[in-house]
Structure 1
Amino acid sequence: MNKVQKLLVSAALLALTLSGGNVFAEDTIKIGAFFDLSGPAAFIGTPTKLVADMVVDKINKEGGVNGKEIELVIGDTEGDPAKAVNIAKKFIYKDKVAAIIGPTRTGTGMAVKKIIHGGKIPAFMTVGGDPVIMGGEKLGPFDWVFKSPQRSSVAVKRLYMYLKEKGLNKIALLTASDGFGKDGSRWLTKLAPEYGLTIVAQEAFGPRDTDMTAQLTNAKNANPSALVVWTIGPAGSIVSKNKAQLGIDLPLFQCHGLPDPKYIELAGKASEGDRMPATKLMVVDALPDSDPQKPVIQEFVRLYTDKYHFDKQFPINTHSGYAWDAIMIVANAMKKAGTDADALRAAIETTKGYVGVSGVYNLTPEDHNGLDVDSMVIVQVKDGKFVMAQ
């Protein structure tokens, strides 16, 4: 190797070192993305990460953001709030990311909310609960936090609209004792009077409990016209199976986090007839051609199933589009405002008319989600599949 070659190699190694292993670091926009890639919610977090990769690949192939490619910096929270905090700090202070996507669950979202506010980096979360975008002395400011899944309050409103329409006005609530379940319980209780509904029983269970027969028995004894369950993960399927085992002949409604083939797989025949609010992604073929979301969702499904074949391991569920919408909104804002944190935050906050997989988003300073009840439908299990509820 001659001197010139040695100099070139040395220069390349130096560039590699300074860029942290990526010689194109200056030509990319770093976005931190952390999800539950392991732990009890990995069945949600792992496919969310795959969708994040998919949408970034799409954006980069279409020219990136103002000529720069997006580079995802991935982190695994393991469902642990403390680990989520450490990852968020790393994203902000070491990786110098321009924005953050994730995490997966409400509890970890709340754990990092203060860190994100202090670091002044926009974060678009993929969590279900509302507290991450609620303010006040107890919950803290949410200026820098946004979320792509429907607010729990919106899902409750959509469900209550349906219950009122069907004349199911006496309900028993069974809610998980975690952050997501408590958030749902709060909205279910608060909004019931607005829809003329009476809550005749309220029962709680642990998100990892394996038997809810006691809670179901208490709920049945209150003589409700319907059961409403608020949880994510296997617990929802357990409630459905326990209901069937007890011979309880009452309609069962789950929350917007459970429209997932896994729910049907775990609950089996017991799930037949169960209903729940969902994104339109779950019933795209039943949407009218006039729905602006239909072509967007169809393109998403084509990429997810036909190009990347993610459905082989992770069938499409109501969570599938959340990372897509979060990253698309952030990327669109970057195209307008660049990556300066204040300008980017303001651009995200004023997003209007973005047609996504999960709805048409119209964000405001007061609403960092931007979705309303028209973004949701009620689905039911029929012959082992999700269909539009009648």
Structure 2
Amino acid sequence: MRGIGKLTAAVAVALMLMAGGSADAKETIKIGAFFDVSGPAAVIGTPTKLVADMVVDKINAAGGVNGKPIELIVGDTEGDPAKAVNIAKKFIYKDKVAAIIGPTRTGTGMAVKKIIHAGKVPAFMTVGGDPVIMGGEKLGPFDWVFKSPQRSSVAAKRLFMYLKEKGLTKIALLTASDGFGKDGSRWLDKLAPEFGIEIAAKEGFNPKDTDMTTQLTNAKNAAPQAIVVWTIGPAGAIVSKNRAQLGIDIPLFQCHGQPDPTYIKLAGSASEGDRMPATKLMVADELPDSDVQKPVIQEFVRLYTEQYHYDKQFPINTHSGYAWDAIMIVAEAMKKAGSDAEALRRAIEQTNGYVGVSGVYTLTPEDHNGLDVDSMVIVAVKDGKFVMAP
């Protein structure tokens, strides 16, 4: 019986070799991916998870990474930092993943930052806030952390460029009290003088608040030329609706986390004319043929809408391409450096000119995002759709 067992094993290996494979042909490259698949930010986290599946399918269909397929191990943080920490530890110490993608929000990203650094596994986050890739004694090292969405500082710069161009130099700020809102508030404060912008009023709110009339009334009393809101999720739409209800005709600008058909659906007709910085994905049809991102974005849109039909439940928004870019950059780095953690980290850090859905990425040891203001456009709501702002 023992001889038959050895013969069977030998036949199996021979068959694999005849098929052009090898004894370890089924070995996979494990990548952990955790998002807010449920919870308050599920509207962002769930489609991000779907895009992660989509891009892994694309990579595997093309032969995987150096002949090995990617195996995506998915976790749901539910928007809970404690759960995110547990999932990150599982990825690193139990699943032995080669890299991590996600999470969805800045708060959960900061919760796992130390865990990832201690575990020495490259993580490409899909969070909006900058602290995950900022260092210093307070924020800690970011050697092992990267992120695909534009920095809050880049979005703030792009918005201020537009405001200055339009002669809107006196603004009122409404910012959320969560990590993302605080990060935006910090950068808006810091960059305003550089662009000649005066912040006439500053109001805060809880992202779960359902009425912002007090904050808007206080903002209006400061006589600004524009109102700038920094939050993600339904709170931004509530501000837009309350502004219309109060009859405030001051132009309203949202942050780069709001370009999403859901925003227009929640705010309704009140959103007409609202403007905000966004990725080029939101106005793909308006891009000139000379834009190097256009073919990449068109392929992404084709897969998302025509092959996977994700748009039926989750219409494309500014967040849609973040997981695509993160996984693509990690996969390209793996092709060069393999799965050794330090070699992979260095290869990701040396990404130069990767043309993605959300921008053209050039990373450095100092910049673990690699996008600048040229990766963003200002969009406006017109007739219930996003268009390039005039």
TM-score above 0.5, yes or no:
yes
Q: Structure 1 CA distance, aligned partners of 2:192 and 2:305?
A: 39
- What is the CA distance between 1:4 and its match in structure 2? 6.0
Q: Distance in 2 between matches of 1:284 and 1:383?
A: 17
Q: Does 1:368 align with 2:368?
A: yes
> Alignment partner of 2:70: what SS?
strand
Aligned to 1:104: 104
Corresponding position of 1:267: 267
Letter in 2 for 1:245: Q
Matches within 5 A, 1:71-220: 71-220=71-220
How many residue pairs are counted as aligned between the two chains? Answer: 378
Distance 1:137 1:145 in 2: 16
CA distance in 2, matches of 1:297, 1:173: 32
Q: What residue number does 1:320 align with?
A: 320
SS at match of 1:187: helix
- In the other structure, the counterpart of 2:54 is 54
Deviations 1:115-158 (A, max 9, x none): 00000000000000000000000000000000000000000000
Q: After superposition, what is the alpha-carbon deviation per residue over 1:309-357, rounded to whole angstroms, capped at 9, x for unaligned? A: 0000000000000000000000000000000000000000010000000
SS at match of 2:139: coil
SS of residue paired to 1:192:
helix
The one-letter amino acid paired with 1:52 is A
Q: CA deviation at 1:288?
A: 0.5
Q: Paired residue for 1:339?
A: 339
C-alpha RMSD of the superposition: 1.9
Which amino acid is 1:274 matched to?
D
CA distance in 1, matches of 2:147, 2:299: 22
Q: Which secondary structure state, in structure 1, belongs to the residue aligned with residue 172 of structure 2?
A: strand
* Match in the other structure for 1:249: 249
Q: Aligned residue for 2:301?
A: 301
3-state SS of paired residue (1:324): helix
- Whether 1:379 aligns to 2:351 is no
Q: Distance in 1 between matches of 2:277 and 2:367?
A: 20
1:277 paired to 2:274: no
2:20 aligned partner: none
1:236-267 Cα deviation digits (max 9, x unpaired): 00000000000001000000000000000000
Q: TM-score, normalised by structure 1?
A: 0.95
Question: Between the two proteins, what is the percent identity of the paired residues?
Answer: 85
In the other structure, the counterpart of 1:66 is 66
Q: CA deviation at 1:224?
A: 0.1
TM-score under structure 2 length normalisation: 0.95
Give 5+ residue unaligned stretches, structure 1. 13-22
1:65 alignment partner, SS class: coil
Instruction: Tell me what 1:27 maps to.
Output: 27
- 1:27 offset after TM fit, Å? 1.1
**CA–CA distance in structure 2, aligned partners of residues 116 and 330 of structure 1:** 16
Distance in 2 between residues matched to 1:280 and 1:200, nearest whole Å: 31
Equivalent position of 1:17 in the other structure: none
C-alpha distance after superposition, 1:169-190 (max 9, x if no partner): 0000000000000000000000
The answer to whether 1:232 aligns with 2:232 is yes
C-alpha distance in 1 between matches for 2:62 and 2:316: 24
User: What is the alpha-carbon distance in structure 1 between the residues aligned to residue 197 and residue 211 of structure 2?
Assistant: 28
1:25 shift after superposition: 9.2
Moved over 4 A (4+): 23-26
